[in-house]
Amino acid sequence: MPRPRTHDPDLVLDAAEALAVRSGPTAVTIRAVATATGVSNGALYHTFGSRAELLGRTWIRAAHRFLTLQAELVAAAGDGIDAVIAAAEAPAEFAARYPLSTQLFFRVRRSDLLGDDQPESVRTELDATQRTLIELMKTLAGRLWQRRDAHAVDTLTICLVDLPTAILLDRDRLANPVARQQLRAAVRAVLDIGPAPA
């Protein structure tokens, strides 16, 4: 395979993502990625520092893609219940745009992909992705109920994490239009009850 003229980090992350999804996280080695991309081992180590950082950056890119898309869907939906439904449906939209990133983000266990040897900068970014989702839930809770407490966030966790996981992801129904209708109905039912008293 001819070596690319320029070293494109996204090309490397694409290769790592594909290896992790198709063959499991252990298949993602510097040598395997070098073979898949035509980028030398030395160039990969120069850019990513270690296999652990390469894996971390691959997962972070998928997380950023998902969170960015989710935020765009929420913004386009406006306020209230429609915004929560848009956020809940984000995995289905994500699968249509980024099929491999969807598999990595939702099907490969994070603990299998990411070890304890992540560099500090990667750990910081990983923590930031979690905070981004929590902040979105707090923002939506403020719009719906003028509160951002733990009970409100818990209700939105049901809507944005638990229900999409059960209805779309666990049953491999991301492209099923009936499943998306069921998800919308379930989210509306949970929001109709609302959070427990603060």
Report the C-alpha gap between 48 and 198 in whole angstroms: 45
Task: Please report, rounded to a whole number, the percentage of residues in the chain having pLDDT higher than 90.
Answer: 71
Which residues, other chains included, contact 122 with Cβ-Cβ below 8 Å and sequence gap of 6+?
52, 53, 56, 57, 60
Kindly list the structural domains of the chain, giving each domain's residue range(s) and its CATH number in brackets, ordered by start.
61-193 (1.10.357)
CB distance 75 to 143 below 8 Å: no
CB distance 50 to 119 below 8 Å: yes
Instruction: Flag whether pLDDT at 177 surpasses 70.
Output: yes
* Mean pLDDT computed over 83-88: 98
pTM recorded for the entire structure: 0.89
* Mean pLDDT computed over 79-107: 95
